[in-house]
Structure 1
Amino acid sequence: MDDGLNNNEKKNKLVRASKMHTVHWLIVLLSVILTFSAWYYSQSQQSQKLEIQFEREAEKVVHLVKERMTLYENVLWGGVAYIDAVETDITYKQWSTYSNSLQIDINYPGINGFGVIHNIQPENVDSYLQKQHQQRPNYQMHPSHSHHEFWPITFVEPLDSNQQAIGLDIAFENNRYSSIKKARDSGDALLTAPIILVQDDKQSPGFLFYTPFYKEGAKPKTLEQRRELIEGVTYAPFIMEKLMKGILEKSNKYVSFQIWDGTDLLFDDHLNDDAIKIDKSPLFNQKIETDLYGRTWTFLIQSNISFRQNTTLNQSSVILIGGLIIDGFLLILFLFLTKANRQALKYAEKMTAELKEKTKHLEKSNIDLEKSNNDLEQFSYVASHDLKSPLNAIEQLASWIEEDCEEVLPEESKEHLALLRQRSKRMLKLLDDLLDYSRLNLTTASNDKVNLAEKAQDILSLLESNDNFSCLVPDIEINIPQLPFEIVLRNLISNSIKHHDKPTGQITIHYAKKDNFHEISLEDDGPGIPKAFHDKAMEMFQTLQSRDKVEGSGMGLAMIKRIVVHYNGSVNIISDGKRGTKINILWPMNSQPD
């Protein structure tokens, strides 16, 4: 009666195991959450990289402008140095020769000209004009104004494109005049506010760049001295559109921008560069203000279509798709396992019914009984084989994702993938051991001569970590069934190495004759087994350590016990639970199985 109740209880457990439970759905749900978390993290990291790339492109624009303006400043100060080096007042011919030697159009793209503006007091106007007329009879100062001093453009090269600027008295217009006075008073290079150049037919925004020079050469120390000794400025006129085309290349351009001086728009490449494709909803925007020679220029920079097209989030999409595929395979695995359990239960019930029927005719049909046993063995093989295929696929998929996403996956996700692969390999090992156990040949075997020392060394050489463990074995020959005994000895040595808590260890095998038994004992110096677990250790699927620490199916001692008991022997464990374990085997010398 009790056996019947126990069988019904076991059957009910199998029935429950053949259904999807909350824990299965929870695992799938957590896996999906982990996939989306990894995808979100990857997308966030990728977005940060894109933002850094955009900021680098934006800073590059500002840097190029500032770098080019510094180059032009050096040209203007070079002109000041040349003027100071000429002992007399510089002539038109001298300035023209010097300017042409610089090859401005070739070496300084973007600059509209290079010239000299003199400061002329009212009492010196006639002598100034007389001196200019000696080389240029048509030279005239224009336009008229009401200020008490004059700042006419004396020279400017190249002459052809700047003819209208010759003789222009820049004191006529406030932006030009106020900036040149600031340059005079500070002694520094300065820019004007936005102006329209007289030589620009398009009437587009531009500005002038001044560098002052004084009588007696060096910059005077005081403001009064600078105002008294000012002689003039070297200057360069700029048309903003021409300047920016000289600074920036169209190729590999991923940002568009505007440049403002206060409320005045200096440049807008949306209007000036047809090659730029404006992004109506840019990924990034940035505002950069920079002080530039007395003016504050504001750069409004945004990413364009080229930036969007050349920067994608493919990596995060791969993670999402790959993760969802794994989640799908995980769900399929659970469904497959539950279906396999149902099929196994159904098949077991069918086989049980057949066995019951055949048991009634056992005396007449021993051949049929043997066939049933073979069928069961074949079932174990097929079930194990069919279960291994999806496990191999999952382990392979995890490996591919780990390789493809190594640079973007967070460390936690890498650990989860490694754990998934480790668990898959463990289940494969469990299925292999289960298959070996189910197909273990326990038929009658005759005694063979076996050298105990040679057999132990052969087994040790085939095991991992064998170089780190030594094995002391008596060099004797015994009569014992060779194949079953080899399986027992191999599992004993393997367990001692596998469950050792140190990288090296000592294994000792003892042999003695006891009555009509071979007494074979294997003793190691690894961790002990508490007495309360001696019986449990020899049950199937039992390990005394975490499966994440020890790779094993928990079937080694169970297989040993099954073989030894089949040959009417016995196995027992001797250990104090602290250090060292001894497995003692009594194997009958006649080796006659039941």
Structure 2
Amino acid sequence: MTPQGLKAAASLHWFHWLVVSLSLLLTLAAWYISKTQTEEKLQQRFEFQSQQLLDLISERMSRYEDALRAGVAAINAQKGADVNMWKRFSETLHIHKSYPGINGIGVIYYISPNKLNNYLLKERELRPGYIIHPPHNKNEYWPITYVEPVINNEKAIGLDMAFESNRYQAALKARDLNVPQITAPIVLVQDSKQTPGFLQYVPFYNSEDIGTVEKRRKHFIGHVYAPFIMYKLMEGALAQKHRQLLFSVHDNNDVLYNELTSDNPYYDAQPLYQKTVSIDMYGRPWRFSIQTAHAFREGADTYQSTFILLGGIVIDSLLLFLFIALARSNKKAIEIAIQMTQKLSISEIAPCGILIINQKGIIEIANPHTVTLFGYSQEELEGKSIKQLIPQGLYEGQGNDHPQSADSQNTDNLSTDNQANNIELPFWDSIEHQTQSNKEVVCETQNGNLFPAEIGIAPFKHGEGSKFLATIFDMSSHVEMTNELKRSNKELNDFAYIASHDLKAPLRGIMQLSAWIAEDIEEIATEETKHNLTLLQNRTSRLEKLLDDLLAYSRLGRDLGKLQQVDIEFMVTSIFDLLDPPKGFKLVIQNEMPVFESLLVPLEVIFRNLISNAIKHHHKSEGTITISVADQAQEYEFSVCDDGPGINPKLHDRAFELFKTLKPRDEVEGSGMGLAFVKKMLKQHKSNIRIVSDGESGTCFIFTWPKKLTDV
């Protein structure tokens, strides 16, 4: 082989790059799917928690509204209220336990100027110091008459809503619409920290006939109200330590509440997700800015896709390392084979040891190469007994130490059987036997060194007697090269076997991981995502099968079992049943199948691949597979035919190539090695296979198999 050929043998071939590329594509697909699914899950989780937060605030405000409406119902039931009645009502509500975040609950009456004195006289009966404050320029009064608990809201008693625009406008709007309202942001007089808050109003009337604004104004009595300090409301409704989201609330441009500050220990300066949502909160536009907190990031499994990518890269690296190592081992084996071939070639070109021996086994003539082989001089060799050069091998088991003389025998015609049988040399059984084959012997040099050799002996006539020509070939290099090649081949096989098995573990890891992903996203994944996951699992499984098939192909023919009786009909029937074909398929054995002594394993592999292909590549859910045999002189000719779609004649040769499939791999699962197996097995036994098909209706695979195997 040329240096260019050796370089090519040590380089990676196209199918190596195909496997690595397929593995890389699988890795990228798994990474992309995992990354996409993780992002979708996190996005959905953020959206769910955001909506949950908004719903919780809305639900809490609805509960406060219910408490205010309960106050309205109590006032209507008592046909009015006084300070003692309102205190009893408040105590029954247990507002700080049942309504955390509320600052109190009270009653605001609407007082026209002409009723102001009567109102003050009535309220001062139980509270002599009661006053309305502060002064303002409105011609009406909206004082907070009762509020509980008093201890937290004492400064608010008597406070007139008409003194301040936000309180006053919301009170008017609630009265005219008969709908609960809240004020724009205000600072409650009872809030020592002067933080943002608001009031919630629920109006009540002295008549049910309030269908128009005029009637509502006419029959309006007042509001049941609740004051709220915003940060207390949020602490009671949404404890921050229990949340994975932070938010702020704006009413137009006014800040009501804000957790999005750098001094907040839960704040994430680079949130994973954020959004802004505006909702109508009892007549006011509340704008929520929501974003993820540190807790959300800590609970997000964002490393899964990274692990998949790194794992896939490791697998690709292992594959590349395996193929490079195999290519280098292949180069080494080729170099050893070349060296052995060159040495054998030199032995053939150079003179071998040539001796002329008489019937007594005495060397009469020796050529120069014999001198080189044994270390004797020309004179020392001539006259020696062949036994001195070949002390082992040929003499093993011989009873005579010296050849008997043949001078007294008739040697006129050496070709006669009697004369041949009368020649009794100690290093062969008969002339006839020795002239038909060479013998492996052990030779001894002058200095006592032993070396393996092969000797061939042929008789020839010489005058009235006979002599023998002996050729001696030194087999030392051959034995050394053969042993080295066997060792190298064993190392290569062991390496391929171990590497292929080590690669299966991460492949199975990808299969398991993709199965877990499929389970996790079963309810939320799109059909396209599920399809991509199925492709990922199928192609990972195909890569594992490809590794198995590559290993099996490299070992093909090394251990095919022993000769045994093979019943072809029983074999093909069993194979068909084990393949578990669709119910519409049937097997037809057209004539009587032979029973003969052969190797079971290769025949079983051949029939299984051909029958499996006939089922797998059929274009219908039902079909017929026909097995037949023709008895020829030295071999059987078997046919495996189907009624499938056929194979285009242009593709007949391609069908037997490694890694070739005639359909897309996502339509028919397979490594493309089945027919390559079949062809290699048949070639080992000097058999052949061919395809008969017009490419339109049906395919026949016809192969021969010897009746008697001589190469086992």
> Which of 555, 563, 573 is matched with 1:435 structurally?
555
- 1:142-541 aligned within 5 A: 142-216=133-207, 218=208, 220-269=210-259, 276-356=265-345, 365-366=453-454, 368=475, 379-406=488-515, 412=532, 415=535, 418-419=538-539, 421-438=541-558, 450=565, 454=567, 456-457=569-570, 460-461=573-574, 464-465=578-579, 470=587, 472=589, 482-484=597-599, 486=600, 489-500=603-614, 501-502=617-618, 505-508=624-627, 510=629, 517=633, 520-526=636-642
- Equivalent position of 2:681 in the other structure: 559
User: 1:521·1:583 contact (CA, 8 Å) conserved in 2?
Assistant: yes
What is the CA–CA distance in structure 2 between the aligned matches of 1:190 and 1:582, rounded to whole Å? 87
Superimposed CA distance per residue, residues 362-391 of structure 1 (whole angstroms, 9 cap, x where no aligned partner): 766349578976765665454333223323
User: 1:162·1:199 contact (CA, 8 Å) conserved in 2?
Assistant: yes
- Which SS does the other structure have where 1:163 is aligned? helix
> Which of 13, 16, 29 is matched with 2:8 structurally?
16
Identify if the C-alpha distance between structure 1 residues 497 and 381 changes in structure 2 by more than 3 Å, giving closer, same or farther: farther
Identify if the C-alpha distance between structure 1 residues 132 and 507 changes in structure 2 by more than 3 Å, giving closer, same or farther: same
TM-fit CA distance, 1:191? 0.9
User: What residue identity is the alignment partner of 1:498?
Assistant: S
What is the CA–CA distance in structure 2 between the aligned matches of 1:34 and 1:268, rounded to whole Å? 47
User: What residue identity is the alignment partner of 1:101?
Assistant: T
What is the CA–CA distance in structure 1 between the aligned matches of 2:44 and 2:339, rounded to whole Å? 67
Identify if the C-alpha distance between structure 1 residues 210 and 26 changes in structure 2 by more than 3 Å, giving closer, same or farther: same
Gaps (5+ residues) in structure 1? 1-7
- Equivalent position of 2:373 in the other structure: none
- Of structures 1 and 2, the one with the larger relative CO (CA 8 A, separation 6+) is 1
What is the CA–CA distance in structure 1 between the aligned matches of 2:647 and 2:266, rounded to whole Å? 75
Query: Between the two proteins, what is the percent identity of the paired residues?
Result: 31
User: What residue identity is the alignment partner of 2:44?
Assistant: I
Identify if the C-alpha distance between structure 1 residues 408 and 540 changes in structure 2 by more than 3 Å, giving closer, same or farther: closer
User: 2:655·2:661 contact (CA, 8 Å) conserved in 1?
Assistant: no
- Which SS does the other structure have where 2:555 is aligned? helix
What is the CA–CA distance in structure 1 between the aligned matches of 2:178 and 2:689, rounded to whole Å? 102
What is the CA–CA distance in structure 1 between the aligned matches of 2:6 and 2:506, rounded to whole Å? 30
- Equivalent position of 1:3 in the other structure: none
What is the CA–CA distance in structure 2 between the aligned matches of 1:29 and 1:540, rounded to whole Å? 20
User: 2:514·2:537 contact (CA, 8 Å) conserved in 1?
Assistant: no
- Equivalent position of 1:76 in the other structure: 68
User: What residue identity is the alignment partner of 1:552?
Assistant: G
RMSD: 4.1
Superimposed CA distance per residue, residues 327-359 of structure 1 (whole angstroms, 9 cap, x where no aligned partner): 211321232132122112112112223443566
User: 1:395·1:420 contact (CA, 8 Å) conserved in 2?
Assistant: no
User: What residue identity is the alignment partner of 1:150?
Assistant: Y
User: What residue identity is the alignment partner of 1:342?
Assistant: K
- Which SS does the other structure have where 1:335 is aligned? helix
Identify if the C-alpha distance between structure 1 residues 561 and 358 changes in structure 2 by more than 3 Å, giving closer, same or farther: same
Identify if the C-alpha distance between structure 1 residues 177 and 356 changes in structure 2 by more than 3 Å, giving closer, same or farther: same
- 1:52-91 aligned within 5 A: 52-87=44-79, 89-91=80-82
Q: Which moved more, 1:390-399 or 1:172-181?
A: 390-399
- 1:103-122 aligned within 5 A: 103-122=94-113
TM-fit CA distance, 1:322? 1.0
User: What residue identity is the alignment partner of 2:225?
Assistant: Y
User: 2:657·2:673 contact (CA, 8 Å) conserved in 1?
Assistant: no
TM-fit CA distance, 1:507? 4.8
**Greater Cα radius of gyration, structure 1 or 2:** 2
Superimposed CA distance per residue, residues 464-523 of structure 1 (whole angstroms, 9 cap, x where no aligned partner): 427876474988997x6x344x456435533441332457655545575x7xx4663433
- Equivalent position of 1:4 in the other structure: none
User: What residue identity is the alignment partner of 1:390?
Assistant: A
TM-fit CA distance, 1:436? 3.8
Identify if the C-alpha distance between structure 1 residues 458 and 129 changes in structure 2 by more than 3 Å, giving closer, same or farther: same
- Which SS does the other structure have where 1:313 is aligned? coil
- Which SS does the other structure have where 1:135 is aligned? coil
User: What residue identity is the alignment partner of 1:388?
Assistant: Y
> Taking structure 1 as the reference length, what is the TM-score of the superposition?
0.80
- Which SS does the other structure have where 1:297 is aligned? strand
- Which SS does the other structure have where 2:674 is aligned? coil
TM-fit CA distance, 1:310? 2.1
Q: Which moved more, 1:18-27 or 1:219-228?
A: 18-27
User: What residue identity is the alignment partner of 1:325?
Assistant: V
Which one has a larger percent helix, Structure 1 or Structure 2? 1
Identify if the C-alpha distance between structure 1 residues 313 and 432 changes in structure 2 by more than 3 Å, giving closer, same or farther: same
What is the CA–CA distance in structure 2 between the aligned matches of 1:230 and 1:268, rounded to whole Å? 37
User: 1:196·1:204 contact (CA, 8 Å) conserved in 2?
Assistant: yes
Q: Which moved more, 1:492-501 or 1:119-128?
A: 492-501
What is the CA–CA distance in structure 1 between the aligned matches of 2:493 and 2:88, rounded to whole Å? 95
TM-fit CA distance, 1:295? 1.2
Identify if the C-alpha distance between structure 1 residues 593 and 239 changes in structure 2 by more than 3 Å, giving closer, same or farther: closer
- Which SS does the other structure have where 2:198 is aligned? strand
> Taking structure 2 as the reference length, what is the TM-score of the superposition?
0.68
Superimposed CA distance per residue, residues 107-131 of structure 1 (whole angstroms, 9 cap, x where no aligned partner): 1111111111111111111211221
What is the CA–CA distance in structure 1 between the aligned matches of 2:304 and 2:654, rounded to whole Å? 48
What is the CA–CA distance in structure 2 between the aligned matches of 1:277 and 1:538, rounded to whole Å? 65
